[in-house]
Structure 1
Amino acid sequence: MKKTLKKLMTMLAAVQLYLVLALFGSSVALAQMPVLKGIGGEFSLKSSKGGEVSLSDFKDKVVLMFFGYTNCADICPTTMAHISQMMNKLTPEQRSRVQVLFVSIDSDYDTPKHLNKYLAYFDPSFIGLVDEREKIDYVAKLFHADYIKLANDKVTTEFKKLSLDDEKQEQKGYLYSHSAKIFVMDTHSRVRGFFYAGTAIEDMRQQVISLL
Protein backbone atom coordinates (compact mmCIF):
# COMPACT_ATOMS: atom_id res chain seq x y z
CA MET A 1 0.00 0.00 0.00
CA LYS A 2 2.82 2.35 0.96
CA LYS A 3 4.66 1.55 -2.28
CA THR A 4 1.52 2.25 -4.30
CA LEU A 5 0.93 5.56 -2.49
CA LYS A 6 4.57 6.54 -2.95
CA LYS A 7 4.39 5.69 -6.64
CA LEU A 8 1.19 7.72 -7.00
CA MET A 9 2.78 10.72 -5.26
CA THR A 10 5.79 10.45 -7.55
CA MET A 11 3.55 10.40 -10.60
CA LEU A 12 1.59 13.44 -9.35
CA ALA A 13 4.82 15.33 -8.73
CA ALA A 14 5.98 14.45 -12.25
CA VAL A 15 2.71 15.67 -13.73
CA GLN A 16 2.93 18.92 -11.78
CA LEU A 17 6.50 19.44 -12.93
CA TYR A 18 5.46 18.75 -16.53
CA LEU A 19 2.64 21.31 -16.32
CA VAL A 20 4.96 23.93 -14.84
CA LEU A 21 7.56 23.32 -17.53
CA ALA A 22 4.91 23.33 -20.27
CA LEU A 23 3.54 26.67 -19.10
CA PHE A 24 7.04 28.07 -18.75
CA GLY A 25 8.03 26.71 -22.13
CA SER A 26 5.02 28.21 -23.90
CA SER A 27 5.72 31.53 -22.19
CA VAL A 28 9.35 31.48 -23.30
CA ALA A 29 8.37 30.44 -26.83
CA LEU A 30 5.93 33.34 -27.00
CA ALA A 31 8.56 35.78 -25.75
CA GLN A 32 11.10 34.44 -28.23
CA MET A 33 9.26 35.13 -31.45
CA PRO A 34 12.00 34.80 -34.06
CA VAL A 35 13.55 37.92 -35.51
CA LEU A 36 12.76 37.97 -39.22
CA LYS A 37 15.97 38.69 -41.08
CA GLY A 38 15.98 40.86 -44.18
CA ILE A 39 12.72 42.65 -43.37
CA GLY A 40 12.47 46.19 -42.01
CA GLY A 41 14.89 49.00 -41.36
CA GLU A 42 15.11 52.64 -40.35
CA PHE A 43 13.07 55.27 -42.19
CA SER A 44 11.58 58.75 -41.78
CA LEU A 45 8.22 60.01 -43.06
CA LYS A 46 5.84 62.90 -42.47
CA SER A 47 3.56 62.29 -39.48
CA SER A 48 -0.17 62.87 -39.14
CA LYS A 49 0.67 64.49 -35.80
CA GLY A 50 2.88 67.06 -37.49
CA GLY A 51 6.52 67.15 -38.49
CA GLU A 52 8.52 64.10 -39.45
CA VAL A 53 9.10 60.94 -37.46
CA SER A 54 11.52 58.04 -37.74
CA LEU A 55 11.01 54.43 -36.76
CA SER A 56 13.77 54.86 -34.18
CA ASP A 57 11.59 57.46 -32.42
CA PHE A 58 9.53 54.53 -31.14
CA LYS A 59 12.45 52.63 -29.67
CA ASP A 60 11.44 50.89 -26.43
CA LYS A 61 7.91 50.43 -27.80
CA VAL A 62 6.27 47.54 -29.59
CA VAL A 63 5.20 48.83 -33.00
CA LEU A 64 2.31 47.54 -35.10
CA MET A 65 2.57 48.89 -38.63
CA PHE A 66 0.14 48.56 -41.54
CA PHE A 67 0.36 49.76 -45.14
CA GLY A 68 -2.92 51.05 -46.55
CA TYR A 69 -4.83 54.15 -47.65
CA THR A 70 -7.89 56.08 -46.53
CA ASN A 71 -9.88 55.46 -49.72
CA CYS A 72 -9.69 51.72 -49.09
CA ALA A 73 -13.21 50.33 -48.85
CA ASP A 74 -12.67 47.16 -46.87
CA ILE A 75 -9.40 45.72 -45.54
CA CYS A 76 -7.98 49.00 -44.18
CA PRO A 77 -10.91 50.08 -41.97
CA THR A 78 -11.47 46.45 -40.96
CA THR A 79 -7.84 46.05 -39.94
CA MET A 80 -7.67 49.36 -38.07
CA ALA A 81 -10.84 48.47 -36.17
CA HIS A 82 -9.37 45.06 -35.32
CA ILE A 83 -6.17 46.60 -33.97
CA SER A 84 -8.22 49.11 -31.99
CA GLN A 85 -10.13 46.27 -30.33
CA MET A 86 -6.86 44.62 -29.34
CA MET A 87 -5.48 47.90 -27.94
CA ASN A 88 -8.58 48.25 -25.78
CA LYS A 89 -7.72 44.89 -24.18
CA LEU A 90 -4.39 46.23 -22.91
CA THR A 91 -3.87 48.00 -19.60
CA PRO A 92 -3.13 51.76 -19.73
CA GLU A 93 0.52 51.04 -18.92
CA GLN A 94 0.76 48.45 -21.70
CA ARG A 95 -0.97 50.76 -24.19
CA SER A 96 1.59 53.47 -23.46
CA ARG A 97 4.30 51.09 -24.65
CA VAL A 98 2.64 50.15 -27.95
CA GLN A 99 2.51 52.37 -31.04
CA VAL A 100 0.33 51.78 -34.10
CA LEU A 101 1.58 53.22 -37.40
CA PHE A 102 -0.49 53.47 -40.58
CA VAL A 103 1.69 54.06 -43.65
CA SER A 104 -0.34 55.51 -46.50
CA ILE A 105 0.54 54.20 -49.94
CA ASP A 106 -1.62 56.92 -51.54
CA SER A 107 0.57 60.02 -51.51
CA ASP A 108 -1.63 61.48 -54.30
CA TYR A 109 -4.64 61.78 -52.01
CA ASP A 110 -3.73 61.30 -48.35
CA THR A 111 -2.25 64.19 -46.40
CA PRO A 112 -1.02 64.20 -42.78
CA LYS A 113 -4.11 66.17 -41.72
CA HIS A 114 -6.45 63.83 -43.58
CA LEU A 115 -4.74 60.77 -42.10
CA ASN A 116 -5.04 62.18 -38.59
CA LYS A 117 -8.78 62.63 -38.98
CA TYR A 118 -9.21 59.18 -40.48
CA LEU A 119 -7.25 57.39 -37.76
CA ALA A 120 -9.00 59.31 -34.97
CA TYR A 121 -12.10 57.25 -35.75
CA PHE A 122 -10.22 54.17 -34.57
CA ASP A 123 -7.86 55.47 -31.88
CA PRO A 124 -6.42 58.98 -31.36
CA SER A 125 -3.03 57.47 -30.52
CA PHE A 126 -2.63 55.91 -33.98
CA ILE A 127 -0.11 57.76 -36.14
CA GLY A 128 -0.39 58.07 -39.91
CA LEU A 129 2.69 58.35 -42.11
CA VAL A 130 2.82 59.67 -45.65
CA ASP A 131 5.34 61.40 -47.89
CA GLU A 132 6.58 61.63 -51.45
CA ARG A 133 6.05 58.55 -53.60
CA GLU A 134 9.77 57.74 -53.67
CA LYS A 135 9.95 57.65 -49.87
CA ILE A 136 6.84 55.51 -49.56
CA ASP A 137 8.22 53.10 -52.15
CA TYR A 138 11.48 52.91 -50.19
CA VAL A 139 9.72 52.00 -46.95
CA ALA A 140 7.44 49.49 -48.69
CA LYS A 141 10.50 47.83 -50.21
CA LEU A 142 12.22 47.65 -46.81
CA PHE A 143 9.27 45.72 -45.40
CA HIS A 144 8.42 43.73 -48.55
CA ALA A 145 4.96 45.32 -48.45
CA ASP A 146 3.70 44.95 -51.99
CA TYR A 147 1.13 47.32 -53.44
CA ILE A 148 0.01 48.36 -56.89
CA LYS A 149 -2.26 51.04 -58.30
CA LEU A 150 -5.15 49.28 -60.00
CA ALA A 151 -5.74 51.98 -62.61
CA ASN A 152 -4.45 55.37 -63.63
CA ASP A 153 -7.96 56.79 -63.74
CA LYS A 154 -9.48 58.03 -60.52
CA VAL A 155 -12.78 56.59 -59.39
CA THR A 156 -15.48 57.91 -57.09
CA THR A 157 -14.92 57.23 -53.40
CA GLU A 158 -18.54 57.46 -52.34
CA PHE A 159 -18.65 53.68 -51.88
CA LYS A 160 -16.34 53.88 -48.87
CA LYS A 161 -17.55 52.44 -45.59
CA LEU A 162 -15.91 55.26 -43.66
CA SER A 163 -16.64 58.83 -44.74
CA LEU A 164 -15.15 61.93 -43.19
CA ASP A 165 -17.16 65.05 -42.50
CA ASP A 166 -15.21 67.26 -44.88
CA GLU A 167 -15.48 64.88 -47.83
CA LYS A 168 -17.85 65.28 -50.71
CA GLN A 169 -19.25 62.38 -52.67
CA GLU A 170 -17.81 63.64 -55.93
CA GLN A 171 -14.25 63.43 -54.62
CA LYS A 172 -12.21 60.84 -56.43
CA GLY A 173 -9.15 58.79 -55.62
CA TYR A 174 -7.13 55.88 -56.91
CA LEU A 175 -7.73 52.26 -55.98
CA TYR A 176 -4.86 50.07 -54.82
CA SER A 177 -4.22 46.41 -54.20
CA HIS A 178 -1.91 46.03 -51.21
CA SER A 179 -0.50 43.76 -48.54
CA ALA A 180 -2.81 42.91 -45.63
CA LYS A 181 -0.02 42.24 -43.12
CA ILE A 182 0.24 44.00 -39.77
CA PHE A 183 3.98 44.11 -39.11
CA VAL A 184 4.90 43.41 -35.49
CA MET A 185 8.14 45.01 -34.27
CA ASP A 186 9.80 44.63 -30.90
CA THR A 187 11.35 47.35 -28.73
CA HIS A 188 14.46 47.26 -30.91
CA SER A 189 12.49 47.90 -34.12
CA ARG A 190 13.05 44.34 -35.33
CA VAL A 191 10.25 42.62 -37.25
CA ARG A 192 9.09 39.62 -35.20
CA GLY A 193 6.04 38.47 -37.15
CA PHE A 194 2.71 39.41 -38.69
CA PHE A 195 -0.90 39.78 -37.65
CA TYR A 196 -3.91 39.95 -39.95
CA ALA A 197 -7.48 41.18 -39.58
CA GLY A 198 -8.42 37.55 -38.98
CA THR A 199 -5.88 36.96 -36.19
CA ALA A 200 -7.63 36.31 -32.88
CA ILE A 201 -7.55 39.41 -30.69
CA GLU A 202 -6.46 37.42 -27.62
CA ASP A 203 -3.55 35.91 -29.56
CA MET A 204 -2.52 39.38 -30.67
CA ARG A 205 -2.75 40.70 -27.12
CA GLN A 206 -0.63 37.91 -25.68
CA GLN A 207 2.06 38.23 -28.33
CA VAL A 208 2.25 42.00 -27.95
CA ILE A 209 2.57 41.67 -24.16
CA SER A 210 5.31 39.07 -24.57
CA LEU A 211 7.40 41.64 -26.47
CA LEU A 212 6.97 44.50 -23.98
Structure 2
Amino acid sequence: MTRIQKTVFILVALVALVIGLTVYKVLNTGQQLDTADLLDAGIVILPQGRDVPDLTLTNQDGEAVSMEQLEGRWNLLFFGYTFCPDICPATLAELRQLRGKLPEDINQRLQPVLVSVDPERDTPEQLKKYLDYFGAGFIGLTGPLNDIQTLANAVGVPFIPADTSKENYTVDHGGNLALIGPDGRLRGFVRGPLRTEKLAEQLPVLIRSEG
Protein backbone atom coordinates (compact mmCIF):
# COMPACT_ATOMS: atom_id res chain seq x y z
CA MET A 1 0.00 0.00 0.00
CA THR A 2 1.48 3.35 -1.09
CA ARG A 3 1.69 6.37 1.18
CA ILE A 4 -1.17 8.03 -0.73
CA GLN A 5 -3.32 4.91 -0.36
CA LYS A 6 -2.53 4.78 3.37
CA THR A 7 -3.46 8.45 3.74
CA VAL A 8 -6.73 7.94 1.87
CA PHE A 9 -7.48 4.85 3.98
CA ILE A 10 -6.90 6.75 7.23
CA LEU A 11 -9.06 9.68 6.05
CA VAL A 12 -11.87 7.34 5.03
CA ALA A 13 -11.66 5.60 8.40
CA LEU A 14 -11.80 8.95 10.25
CA VAL A 15 -14.78 10.10 8.18
CA ALA A 16 -16.56 6.82 8.89
CA LEU A 17 -15.85 7.24 12.61
CA VAL A 18 -17.18 10.80 12.64
CA ILE A 19 -20.30 9.76 10.72
CA GLY A 20 -20.80 6.83 13.07
CA LEU A 21 -20.54 9.03 16.15
CA THR A 22 -22.90 11.58 14.63
CA VAL A 23 -25.49 8.93 13.79
CA TYR A 24 -25.17 7.48 17.30
CA LYS A 25 -25.71 10.91 18.81
CA VAL A 26 -28.74 11.57 16.59
CA LEU A 27 -30.30 8.19 17.31
CA ASN A 28 -29.84 8.72 21.01
CA THR A 29 -31.07 12.29 21.17
CA GLY A 30 -33.21 12.61 24.28
CA GLN A 31 -31.71 9.49 25.81
CA GLN A 32 -28.63 10.93 27.49
CA LEU A 33 -29.16 11.98 31.08
CA ASP A 34 -27.84 15.36 32.11
CA THR A 35 -27.80 15.76 35.88
CA ALA A 36 -27.87 19.54 35.66
CA ASP A 37 -30.96 19.50 33.44
CA LEU A 38 -32.69 17.00 35.72
CA LEU A 39 -31.94 19.12 38.77
CA ASP A 40 -33.20 22.21 36.97
CA ALA A 41 -36.49 20.36 36.47
CA GLY A 42 -36.59 19.48 40.17
CA ILE A 43 -35.59 15.82 39.67
CA VAL A 44 -33.06 14.45 42.13
CA ILE A 45 -31.65 11.01 41.24
CA LEU A 46 -30.04 8.92 43.97
CA PRO A 47 -26.59 7.41 43.32
CA GLN A 48 -28.09 4.02 44.17
CA GLY A 49 -31.68 2.84 44.39
CA ARG A 50 -33.19 1.99 47.76
CA ASP A 51 -35.50 -0.87 48.63
CA VAL A 52 -39.13 -0.05 49.37
CA PRO A 53 -41.03 -2.09 52.00
CA ASP A 54 -43.51 -4.41 50.30
CA LEU A 55 -46.57 -3.25 52.18
CA THR A 56 -50.12 -3.83 51.03
CA LEU A 57 -52.53 -0.89 51.02
CA THR A 58 -56.03 -0.36 49.61
CA ASN A 59 -56.79 1.61 46.46
CA GLN A 60 -59.73 3.87 45.67
CA ASP A 61 -61.70 0.89 44.36
CA GLY A 62 -61.31 -1.02 47.62
CA GLU A 63 -58.77 -3.42 46.12
CA ALA A 64 -55.63 -4.57 47.92
CA VAL A 65 -52.47 -3.25 46.23
CA SER A 66 -48.95 -4.23 47.25
CA MET A 67 -45.91 -2.13 46.44
CA GLU A 68 -44.70 -5.05 44.37
CA GLN A 69 -47.73 -4.67 42.11
CA LEU A 70 -46.55 -1.19 41.15
CA GLU A 71 -43.43 -2.62 39.53
CA GLY A 72 -43.06 -2.41 35.77
CA ARG A 73 -43.84 1.31 35.61
CA TRP A 74 -42.36 4.49 37.02
CA ASN A 75 -44.42 5.74 39.96
CA LEU A 76 -44.64 9.21 41.48
CA LEU A 77 -45.70 8.79 45.11
CA PHE A 78 -47.25 11.88 46.64
CA PHE A 79 -48.10 11.70 50.34
CA GLY A 80 -51.12 13.91 50.94
CA TYR A 81 -54.81 13.80 51.81
CA THR A 82 -58.17 14.79 50.41
CA PHE A 83 -59.02 17.34 53.12
CA CYS A 84 -55.76 19.23 52.55
CA PRO A 85 -56.47 22.93 52.02
CA ASP A 86 -53.48 23.88 49.89
CA ILE A 87 -50.50 21.68 48.92
CA CYS A 88 -52.49 18.65 47.78
CA PRO A 89 -55.00 20.21 45.37
CA ALA A 90 -52.22 22.36 43.92
CA THR A 91 -49.89 19.38 43.44
CA LEU A 92 -52.56 17.17 41.91
CA ALA A 93 -53.52 19.98 39.55
CA GLU A 94 -49.86 20.30 38.55
CA LEU A 95 -49.67 16.54 37.98
CA ARG A 96 -52.78 16.70 35.80
CA GLN A 97 -51.20 19.55 33.85
CA LEU A 98 -47.96 17.58 33.52
CA ARG A 99 -49.76 14.53 32.13
CA GLY A 100 -51.29 16.76 29.50
CA LYS A 101 -47.82 17.80 28.34
CA LEU A 102 -46.22 14.34 28.28
CA PRO A 103 -46.20 12.06 25.22
CA GLU A 104 -48.70 9.21 25.43
CA ASP A 105 -45.99 6.52 25.60
CA ILE A 106 -44.52 8.24 28.68
CA ASN A 107 -47.92 8.57 30.35
CA GLN A 108 -48.38 4.85 29.86
CA ARG A 109 -45.14 4.23 31.77
CA LEU A 110 -45.63 6.81 34.53
CA GLN A 111 -48.20 6.41 37.32
CA PRO A 112 -49.02 9.21 39.80
CA VAL A 113 -50.06 7.79 43.19
CA LEU A 114 -51.67 9.69 46.07
CA VAL A 115 -50.85 7.91 49.33
CA SER A 116 -53.13 9.22 52.06
CA VAL A 117 -51.56 10.53 55.26
CA ASP A 118 -55.08 10.81 56.68
CA PRO A 119 -56.52 7.28 56.58
CA GLU A 120 -58.96 8.25 59.34
CA ARG A 121 -61.02 10.23 56.83
CA ASP A 122 -59.63 9.01 53.51
CA THR A 123 -61.67 5.90 52.89
CA PRO A 124 -61.47 4.30 49.43
CA GLU A 125 -64.78 5.97 48.59
CA GLN A 126 -63.48 9.39 49.62
CA LEU A 127 -60.27 8.90 47.64
CA LYS A 128 -62.19 7.86 44.54
CA LYS A 129 -64.50 10.86 44.71
CA TYR A 130 -61.57 13.21 45.21
CA LEU A 131 -59.36 11.77 42.47
CA ASP A 132 -62.21 11.58 39.97
CA TYR A 133 -62.37 15.35 40.19
CA PHE A 134 -58.89 15.58 38.68
CA GLY A 135 -59.68 12.98 36.03
CA ALA A 136 -56.08 12.15 35.30
CA GLY A 137 -55.82 8.41 35.92
CA PHE A 138 -54.35 8.74 39.39
CA ILE A 139 -54.19 5.88 41.87
CA GLY A 140 -55.12 6.56 45.49
CA LEU A 141 -53.90 4.38 48.36
CA THR A 142 -55.00 4.27 51.97
CA GLY A 143 -54.56 1.83 54.85
CA PRO A 144 -53.26 1.52 58.41
CA LEU A 145 -51.48 4.67 59.55
CA ASN A 146 -48.45 2.71 60.75
CA ASP A 147 -47.97 1.14 57.32
CA ILE A 148 -48.32 4.48 55.57
CA GLN A 149 -45.81 6.10 57.90
CA THR A 150 -43.39 3.19 57.41
CA LEU A 151 -43.61 3.64 53.65
CA ALA A 152 -43.25 7.44 53.83
CA ASN A 153 -40.17 7.18 56.04
CA ALA A 154 -38.63 4.51 53.81
CA VAL A 155 -38.90 6.67 50.71
CA GLY A 156 -37.69 9.81 52.46
CA VAL A 157 -40.95 11.77 52.46
CA PRO A 158 -41.97 11.76 56.14
CA PHE A 159 -45.04 13.42 57.60
CA ILE A 160 -46.35 14.18 61.09
CA PRO A 161 -49.52 12.24 61.97
CA ALA A 162 -52.40 14.47 62.98
CA ASP A 163 -54.26 14.65 66.25
CA THR A 164 -57.49 13.18 64.95
CA SER A 165 -59.35 14.11 68.13
CA LYS A 166 -59.42 17.74 66.99
CA GLU A 167 -62.18 18.98 64.73
CA ASN A 168 -61.14 19.87 61.18
CA TYR A 169 -57.56 18.77 61.86
CA THR A 170 -54.80 19.14 59.28
CA VAL A 171 -51.76 16.96 58.62
CA ASP A 172 -48.23 18.34 58.36
CA HIS A 173 -46.60 16.97 55.20
CA GLY A 174 -44.34 18.12 52.39
CA GLY A 175 -44.79 18.59 48.67
CA ASN A 176 -41.98 16.40 47.34
CA LEU A 177 -42.77 13.25 45.39
CA ALA A 178 -40.90 9.97 45.70
CA LEU A 179 -39.79 8.58 42.34
CA ILE A 180 -40.08 4.80 42.25
CA GLY A 181 -38.50 2.98 39.31
CA PRO A 182 -39.98 0.07 37.37
CA ASP A 183 -37.77 -2.17 39.49
CA GLY A 184 -39.80 -1.17 42.53
CA ARG A 185 -36.93 0.71 44.16
CA LEU A 186 -36.71 4.34 45.24
CA ARG A 187 -34.76 6.08 42.50
CA GLY A 188 -35.04 9.68 43.59
CA PHE A 189 -37.38 12.59 44.19
CA VAL A 190 -39.25 15.30 42.39
CA ARG A 191 -39.24 18.53 44.33
CA GLY A 192 -42.43 20.51 44.80
CA PRO A 193 -43.88 22.78 43.64
CA LEU A 194 -43.70 20.98 40.30
CA ARG A 195 -42.03 22.67 37.36
CA THR A 196 -44.35 21.17 34.78
CA GLU A 197 -42.73 22.63 31.65
CA LYS A 198 -39.26 21.38 32.54
CA LEU A 199 -40.56 18.08 33.91
CA ALA A 200 -42.34 17.50 30.61
CA GLU A 201 -38.94 17.78 28.92
CA GLN A 202 -36.85 15.78 31.37
CA LEU A 203 -39.10 12.92 32.52
CA PRO A 204 -39.18 11.39 29.02
CA VAL A 205 -35.39 11.57 28.94
CA LEU A 206 -35.16 9.76 32.27
CA ILE A 207 -37.78 7.13 31.45
CA ARG A 208 -36.52 6.41 27.94
CA SER A 209 -32.94 6.15 29.16
CA GLU A 210 -33.83 2.78 30.65
CA GLY A 211 -35.40 1.43 27.48
Both proteins in one fold, TM over 0.5: yes
Match of 1:170 in 2: none
1:193 maps to 188
Q: 1:116 to 1:30 in 2, by over 3 A?
A: farther
- CA pair 91-43 structure 1, distance change in 2 beyond 3 A: same
* C-alpha distance 206-74 of structure 1, shift in aligned 2 (>3 A): same
Is 1:177–2:172 an aligned residue pair?
yes
1:25-69 per-residue CA deviation (whole Å, 9 max, x = no partner) reads: 984224994454446343210111221112221222111110011
Distance 1:188 1:206, change over 3 A: farther
- Residue pair 1:66, 1:102 contacting (<8 A) in 2 also: yes
Partner of 2:158: 146
Among 74, 95, 114, the alignment partner of 1:83 is 95
Structure 2 residues not aligned, in runs of 5+: 1-17, 39-44
Alignment of 1:1-212 (within 5 A): 27-30=31-34, 33-38=45-50, 40-149=52-161, 151-156=163-168, 174-209=169-204, 210-212=206-208
Q: Structure 1 residue 89: deviation in Å? A: 1.1
41-50 or 72-81: bigger deviation: 41-50
TM-score by length of 1: 0.72
Tell me what 1:169 maps to.
Answer: none
Question: Matched residues, percent identical?
Answer: 29
Q: 1:55 to 1:116 in 2, by over 3 A?
A: same
Give TM-score, length-normalised by structure 2.
Answer: 0.72
* Counterpart Cα distance in 2 of 1:80 and 1:183: 14
Number of residues paired by the alignment? 179
Instruction: Give the alignment's Cα RMSD to 1 decimal.
Output: 3.0
Does the C-alpha gap of structure 1 residues 132 and 198 become closer, same or farther in structure 2, counting only changes over 3 Å?
closer
